[in-house]
Homo-oligomer: A and B are copies of this chain.
Amino acid sequence: MVDTVVAKALLGRDEKIVRVDLGARSYDIKIGRGLLEGAGAEIAAVMPGARLAVVADETVAGLHLKAFSQSLKAAGLEHTAITVPAGESTKCFREFERLCDEVLAARLERGDAVVALGGGVVGDLTGFVASAVRRGMAFIQVPTTLLAQVDSSVGGKTGINSRHGKNLIGAFHQPALVLADTAILDTLPLRDFRAGYAEVAKYGLLGDADFFAWLETNWQAVFAGGAERDEAVARSCQAKADVVAADELESGRRALLNLGHTFGHALESAVAYETERLVHGEGVSIGMMLAHEFSQRLGLIGEDTVERVHKHLSDVGLPVRVQDIPGQLPPAETLMDIIAQDKKVSRGALTFILTRGIGEAFVEKGVDPALVSDFLKEKLEA
């Protein structure tokens, strides 16, 4: 794995490159401290002469748009900036329509590009816009959260939310380039960094026991922002890239990436996506604990494995029990309804990601809903 993560010196910076291998849709993820400064040159190298529409939420625009814009100007790239409100509710039909209109109003042509400067919300929404305008414009991601750098910027999933659930409307649309400036994460609130870290830990838990052990040793350095942070982001991107390359359209193995997500999404939905109570990564953290406890219940793993996962997620400050979510939760029946309507359902049988040990997750398509329901009832009453 590590041999495909190439370290190189660029303009005096250390930069790691993860190649996402998807044939004609292959692209590079570049990772390093201070990449934003040279972003214009990187983009111009991939798309010389392109005109850009840059989408950012108001928070990120205030922090980083000026520097990004200057970098584009320095590279001679014409661009229009479009801002959207911060927050999950921006992933809606109305903003989708507005952004499509604004990209067209900027008279971008097919060889031009739409850029997402932001976290998962802006990346998912903007990617869907890029997929749809003129039936597919080039798309560039400049992820500004840890979650976006290790998860949503890899693999081409884009989308918006529907009244029926999260991410139910969208497209697979691969970016042409991803620039992950790990120094930007210094401006991230600790809670958001932790939430993104849940996805980093997930890559260890689902398929790489060595990486999980490495994180147990090095997580403080990852939080502090040294070379370990770049290493953690690169190994996470590589892990996801490997899975995505093997299964671009999520027909099989890619489902492993949903470790912790079926429970996690149900909890997010149960609190009506109120981020004061629960953000996505926190839902994933609790969801991963539930996936391990449910695997233990089925006799797949022992108490010691569950304890080890519990300890690491707790150490970094992530929530690990449904009771860690402030306020009242709905009953197990409601959570089951949400799970049944979740997109990881096939012909009525429940699909869960279970595990046989650290780094040994697998897809189980025939899970009995009654077992899950009983398990959730106990957990909610615990």
Contacts and interface: CB of A to CB of B under 8 A. Distances in A.
Contact of A134 (B135, B158, B163, B343): B343
A158 to B, nearest CB: 8
A163 B172 CA distance: 25
Nearest to A112: B347
A104 B162 contact: yes
Contact of A346 (B101, B110, B346): B110
Contact of A171 (B97, B109, B110, B136): B136
Nearest to A92: B97
Interface in A93-112: 93, 96-97, 100-101, 104-105, 107, 109-111
Chain A interface size, as a band, is: 35 or more
B346 A132 contact: no
Nearest to A250: B135
Nearest to A132: B169
A131 interface: yes
A109 B136 CA distance: 25
A104 B249 contact: no
A101 B343 contact: no
A8 interface: no
A346 B157 contact: no
A97 B97 CA distance: 10
Question: Closest 9 CB pairs between A and B?
Answer: A104-B164, A93-B97, A135-B170, A132-B169, A134-B343, A100-B169, A109-B345, A104-B162, A135-B172
Interface of A: 49, 93, 96-97, 100-101, 104-105, 107, 109-111, 128, 131-136, 157-159, 162-165, 167-172, 249, 341, 343, 345-347
19 contacts: A93-B93, A93-B96, A93-B100, A100-B169, A104-B168, A107-B341, A109-B345, A109-B346, A110-B346, A132-B170, A132-B171, A133-B169, A134-B168, A135-B158, A135-B170, A135-B171, A136-B172, A136-B249, A171-B171
